[in-house]
Amino acid sequence: MVLLAATFWGISGTAAQALFQGYGFSPFWLLSVRMLVGGLFLLLWARPAFPREEWGRMVLLALLGLVPVQGTYLLAIAYGDVASATLLQALGIPLIALVERLWQRRPLPGRLLLGMALALLGTGFLVVEDPRSLQLALSPLAIFWGLMAALTLMLYTFLSLPLVQRYGGWPVTAWGLFLGGLSLLPIIRPWSVDAPLTRETLLLVAFVAVVGTALAFGLYVGSLRWLRPSEAGLAVTWEPVVATAAAYIFLHVMLRPWQYVGAGAIVASLSLLPGLSQSSNAPLPVEEAAPPEASS
């Protein structure tokens, strides 16, 4: 499930870059549309009951989880490129493993510390054109939003965990996307767009909204029923590979030589993390609750 989600994310990020840099679409407009359309698609398809007992936590997930994790990632693409944005967002995976370990009050193993050090080194190579001159290969805004995407990925993963354990991945994703999209309507009007709405752009928008949002987030969140957060995050390491390949195939975007070194270091750092969560059976603090009533 989570590998398929990572594939969908990687390809949809390339579609988003084409919309931003090829057709002039705003990342804020795409954020609003992808959440509304993706949420409506899942609501009509799965018809999940609204989790009334946990409505506050659901609103919190939408506003502090889904909106930020998608918005920061789209802004990182808009100010940079999908390959760099995806690699920077992948730094959230060591953060997930670190927070998971600290929450369990367990000592930090050497592999985790080494992985985080390698990830930081890889980030340095990724953002500079030449380490000897320290000239940036990415704009400061691309770096900032990419790092924020990593932080919000970690936050989103842990915010969604208690809800997924009780209601399942698809209901949480459907209502989270829809509520997040509704919250953006007073700020972003999706019916007002300056970019061209052609058959090609509408297909790209639909792909981002349905495949790259509704299906991808549903699969990722749903995997948390069987995987711990750090394990689900590790499977997302496939996303940078897909995004880099798709950007090269469809947009002819290539990283600079030192950026490939940084990308390799980041992906290698993630390979040091498997098995960390498996070393302990101590669960994360998830509230036990009775299963929700089936919708009529």
Convert the pLDDT of each residue in 162-181 to its tens digit. 998 888 888 999 999 999 99
CA distance 271 to 206: 33
Q: Residue-wise over 34-62: b if at least 16 C-beta within 10 A, else e?
A: bbbbbbbbbbeeeebebbeebeebbeebb
Convert the pLDDT of each residue in 259-274 to its tens digit. 888 888 888 887 776 4
Domain boundaries defined on the chain: 2-192+200-274
| Average pLDDT, integer, range 120-135 | 81
**The pTM is what?**
0.85
Q: Which of 47-61, 116-130, 234-248: highest mean pLDDT?
A: 47-61
| Average pLDDT, integer, range 111-129 | 84
| Average pLDDT, integer, range 43-58 | 90
> Model confidence at 292, in pLDDT bands (50, 70, 90)?
very low
- Could you tell me what percent of the chain has a pLDDT over 90? 43
CA distance 288 to 162: 9
Count of residues in the chain: 296
